Structure 1
Amino acid sequence: MTDLVEQAQRAATALREVFDPTPLQHNDHLSARFGADIWLKREDLSPVRSYKLRGAFTAMRKVRAANPAQGHFVCASAGNHAQGVAFACRHFGVRGTIFMPVTTPQQKIGKTRTFGGDQVEIRLVGDYFDQSLAAAKTFCAEAGAHFLAPFDDPDVIEGQASVAVEMLDQLGRAPDLVILPVGGGGLAAGVTGYMARMAPDTDFRFVEPAGGASLTAALGAGAPVTLPQVVSFVDGAAVARIGDEPFARLKHLRPEQVLLAPEDRICITMLEMLNVEGIVLEPAGALSVDVLPTLREQIAGKTVVCLTSGGNFDFERLPEVKERAQRYSGVKKYFILRLPQRPGALRDFLQMLGPHDDIARFEYLKKSARNFGSVLIGIESTEAGNIESLFARMDAAGFTYRDITTDETLAEFLI
């Protein structure tokens, strides 16, 4: 543990070659809302808009120090680690080959090219990260390059621990609680390892996307396990298997310290931070803030640090984020209405709508029925109670309908 403290402090000092400490900002809005002293450690304001630069830079620096002849680095990444590696490659003047899934948002691909310049080649391989990772490791072995892992590497963990060095220096005291996002576990392992020695009384909560709960699964099994399926929406933290090295440092955690954030609820948090605070967060970057409502009673009157891990958000995804947020909060519903094929039937339904109910979607699904037709309807309102009242009026009037808002199969094909 002492070694990690010294290593993290050296890593923080070395990082000053490329950027100043990211801000630790007191957030008045969240503090007032939850009756706590809430601070945001703004890793979304690093040069690559995520904390990943810390681990990539530190690992590359140490490899170069041990073997100056190594001038080729390879990585696989869905985006943020790729940008950190690209930035470090240009800084050290070494060659980088970066494998990314074909499905990686264009914003992250473009920024990786910008950060790496002529030093970096990007290869888009596979629909999923695991396929990109396999291709990267095969290429790395053939090319005699150094594989720079995104999280399962002691040097990367050491670099991520520099977050804690800065946080304690900036706050000037130990916080009561630190909330950390978890994907592969490198950040959580580094920060908790440093804080265990320097601020042993600080408590932690760890947040995973509900569709990628690899730490939760590992704690349940007592060892890292591979999830059979991962929801990729929170692409910066949706990892099928937590790293072996990070888990070795996190296996002591209590299951109740690990919280799950539903993907659609994260969208509400992203929109709130954007609209209220003007802070752009990617889905993974919003994880730590998203769980604050579930911790309201536990954090009242305490000093809390939320780590906002990344801000690489492609605004082309904003309509999807808004849609998911509305559906989760209940202000938008989709249903299939069985409508009699007679004059006035549609008017009867329209008269059910309240003054704040808007039709966002209207589509006949079956136009050939002689007596009844199926209609896909999307209703958007100002609050969830309005739509609940609409359904109550429809029930009283004898309308036949099926709410498909949360039916993943139907929603995927119809919405």
Structure 2
Amino acid sequence: MGEFTQRARAATEALREVFPATPLQRNEHLSARYGAEIWLKREDLTPVRSYKLRGAFTAMRKARAADPGQAHFVCASAGNHAQGMAYACRHFGVRGTIFMPVTTPQQKIDKTRMFGGNSVEIRLVGDYFDRTLAAAQDFCGKATARFLSPFDDDDVIEGQASVAVEILDQLPEPPDLVVVPVGGGGLSAGVTGVFAEIAPMTDFRFAEPLGGASLAAAVAAGEPVTLKRVNSFVDGAAVARIGARPFARLKAIRAAQVLAAPEDRICITMLDMLNVEGIVLEPAGALSVDVLPDLADVIRGRRIVCVTSGGNFDFERLPEVKERAQRYAGLKKYFILRMPQRPGALREFLAMLGPDDDIARFEYLKKSARNFGSVLIGIETKSADSFAALIRKMDEAAFSYRDITDDDALAEFLV
């Protein structure tokens, strides 16, 4: 057993003070779909519904062992890391100051406060995370407190490595391939570190959101780089720059091992897991399952472990998830039509719709000074092929229209 694995196993044993090993479950639905033996490492079933508790607890435990007087910890987080640290603060009876963006949903603030109780203070600072992080670090410089990074910390990485220790303990032999979600890189750095020492023949794939592909960018550049833009939908993994310490452990991976998951496709995966399996996953928690179609030829007949990293999903977001899923699957489209201002024009258009086409949005702006009015229309259907028939009919009737489904600027403004 290597030195890193020894530390990871010690972290795993210490974690048993607060929760048992999370289940490693064979998923028959996914196994049948892909012709493989697919197991889910259910990190969505920790006390805080994500793996982040592992790193926060381990770093806090080791800091207090090194300095028993260390009784104040600080972090900046809008989600799972905040909840993990709050839970650890309450367990150790220490003070925690948690900085969160002003824009953090109230549900996440309430859950963080619930886990931390009287042990934590929540401060809302900044509209964007960069401002929140700067405020937290400035606070640490003025107070005798330790900053607890969500991923760029060796002790946090060590705590996340406990996921790998449990996987290897729960299977009779190592898996052929492990799929790990990537945000800041703490989880993937820890898990790969243990497997490199214990089961080096196990292969890896790393799943990150298409709009936050910081690992792919770092692999291409040979060092961490800051993305110019980040899509925040996959909030648990939407990181503009992978951590320096995690990347130092990951820099040998190949570009082909890093897979990008489109945000809208992730929504299809979330709904599939919810409706078929009854498993609630947040967007980041669904990453490892979402990239399985990209691995169909690689995984057939093999034993695969997907780490489902979190289940902190706010069901108020469900309509948005459904909307994104329908649009990605081609089952919902938005058009702007130029409708002739004459009797019967609307009736002609409605006659073009098929039996499974349903109007989900309709806004008609009639202007008396023009011969045409603009219509915003959203249409849902049961088969993506239905839209080909509708578009053909509109073309044949010489209707003037514009498909704005994939126009992000217009869709965000109008839909």
TM-score w.r.t. the length of structure 1 is: 0.99
Asked whether the 8 Å contact 1:106–1:314 carries over to 2, the reply is no
C-alpha distance in 2 between matches for 1:226 and 1:44: 29
* Counterpart position of 2:31: 31
Offset at 1:366?
Answer: 5.1
* Counterpart position of 1:284: 284
* Counterpart position of 1:162: 162
C-alpha distance in 2 between matches for 1:365 and 1:106: 37
Change over 3 Å in CA distance of 1:409–1:15 after alignment to 2: same
Matches within 5 A, 1:262-281: 262-281=262-281
Offset at 1:370?
Answer: 2.2
* Counterpart position of 2:47: 47
C-alpha distance in 1 between matches for 2:210 and 2:260: 5
* Counterpart position of 1:3: 3
Offset at 1:330?
Answer: 0.5
C-alpha distance in 1 between matches for 2:24 and 2:360: 41
* Counterpart position of 2:318: 318
Offset at 1:369?
Answer: 4.4
Offset at 1:105?
Answer: 2.6
C-alpha distance in 1 between matches for 2:263 and 2:381: 22
* Counterpart position of 1:87: 87
C-alpha distance in 2 between matches for 1:342 and 1:193: 70
Offset at 1:76?
Answer: 0.6
* Counterpart position of 1:360: 360
Asked whether the 8 Å contact 1:40–1:308 carries over to 2, the reply is yes
Offset at 1:171?
Answer: 1.2
C-alpha distance in 2 between matches for 1:138 and 1:51: 27
C-alpha distance in 1 between matches for 2:124 and 2:322: 28
Offset at 1:2?
Answer: 2.0
* Counterpart position of 2:174: 174
- Deviation track 1:337-378 (CA, whole Å, cap 9, x = no partner) reads 010000000000000000000000110245344200110000
Query: Amino acid of the residue matched to residue 133 of structure 2?
Result: L
* Counterpart position of 1:108: 108
* Counterpart position of 2:58: 58
Query: Amino acid of the residue matched to residue 362 of structure 2?
Result: F
Q: Which runs of 5 or more residues in structure 1 are unaligned?
A: none
Query: Amino acid of the residue matched to residue 229 of structure 1?
Result: R
Query: Alignment partner of 1:165: what SS?
Result: helix
C-alpha distance in 1 between matches for 2:153 and 2:360: 48
- Deviation track 1:73-123 (CA, whole Å, cap 9, x = no partner) reads 000112100000000000000000001112223222111000000000111
* Counterpart position of 1:259: 259
Query: Amino acid of the residue matched to residue 96 of structure 2?
Result: G
C-alpha distance in 2 between matches for 1:263 and 1:302: 27
Once the two structures are overlaid, the 10-residue window that deviates more, 126-135 or 349-358, is 126-135
C-alpha distance in 1 between matches for 2:369 and 2:14: 72
Asked whether the 8 Å contact 1:103–1:127 carries over to 2, the reply is yes
Matches within 5 A, 1:182-201: 182-201=182-201
* Counterpart position of 1:233: 233
C-alpha distance in 1 between matches for 2:81 and 2:172: 30
Query: Amino acid of the residue matched to residue 67 of structure 1?
Result: D
Runs of 4+ aligned structure 1 residues displaced above 4 Å come to none
C-alpha distance in 1 between matches for 2:145 and 2:110: 24
- Deviation track 1:221-277 (CA, whole Å, cap 9, x = no partner) reads 111111111111000000011000000000001000000001011000000000000
Query: Alignment partner of 2:170: what SS?
Result: helix
C-alpha distance in 1 between matches for 2:14 and 2:303: 29
* Counterpart position of 1:392: 392
C-alpha distance in 2 between matches for 1:5 and 1:248: 17
* Counterpart position of 1:338: 338
* Counterpart position of 1:15: 15
Identity of aligned residues (%): 76
C-alpha distance in 1 between matches for 2:358 and 2:387: 10
- Deviation track 1:149-202 (CA, whole Å, cap 9, x = no partner) reads 000000000000000000011112100000000000000000000000111100
Query: Alignment partner of 1:118: what SS?
Result: helix
Asked whether the 8 Å contact 1:105–1:314 carries over to 2, the reply is no
Offset at 1:9?
Answer: 0.3
Asked whether the 8 Å contact 1:341–1:373 carries over to 2, the reply is yes
Query: Amino acid of the residue matched to residue 38 of structure 1?
Result: I
C-alpha distance in 2 between matches for 1:381 and 1:215: 37
Offset at 1:208?
Answer: 0.7
Change over 3 Å in CA distance of 1:72–1:352 after alignment to 2: same
Q: Which runs of 5 or more residues in structure 2 are unaligned?
A: none
Query: Amino acid of the residue matched to residue 63 of structure 2?
Result: V
* Counterpart position of 2:69: 69
Query: Amino acid of the residue matched to residue 166 of structure 2?
Result: E
Number of residues of Structure 1 aligned to a counterpart in Structure 2: 415
Query: Alignment partner of 1:196: what SS?
Result: helix
Query: Alignment partner of 1:99: what SS?
Result: strand
C-alpha distance in 1 between matches for 2:370 and 2:338: 12
Offset at 1:126?
Answer: 1.4
* Counterpart position of 2:403: 403
Query: Amino acid of the residue matched to residue 114 of structure 2?
Result: T
- Deviation track 1:311-339 (CA, whole Å, cap 9, x = no partner) reads 00000000000001111111000010010
Change over 3 Å in CA distance of 1:343–1:256 after alignment to 2: same
Query: Amino acid of the residue matched to residue 301 of structure 2?
Result: G
Query: Amino acid of the residue matched to residue 154 of structure 1?
Result: D
Query: Amino acid of the residue matched to residue 120 of structure 1?
Result: V
- Deviation track 1:14-41 (CA, whole Å, cap 9, x = no partner) reads 0000000000000000000000000000
Query: Alignment partner of 1:201: what SS?
Result: coil
* Counterpart position of 1:380: 380
C-alpha distance in 2 between matches for 1:108 and 1:170: 32
C-alpha distance in 1 between matches for 2:277 and 2:105: 24
Asked whether the 8 Å contact 1:99–1:132 carries over to 2, the reply is yes
* Counterpart position of 1:213: 213
Asked whether the 8 Å contact 1:100–1:132 carries over to 2, the reply is yes
TM-score w.r.t. the length of structure 2 is: 0.99
Query: Alignment partner of 2:317: what SS?
Result: helix
Query: Alignment partner of 2:211: what SS?
Result: helix
Query: Alignment partner of 1:395: what SS?
Result: helix
C-alpha distance in 1 between matches for 2:322 and 2:186: 30
Query: Alignment partner of 2:163: what SS?
Result: helix
* Counterpart position of 2:128: 128
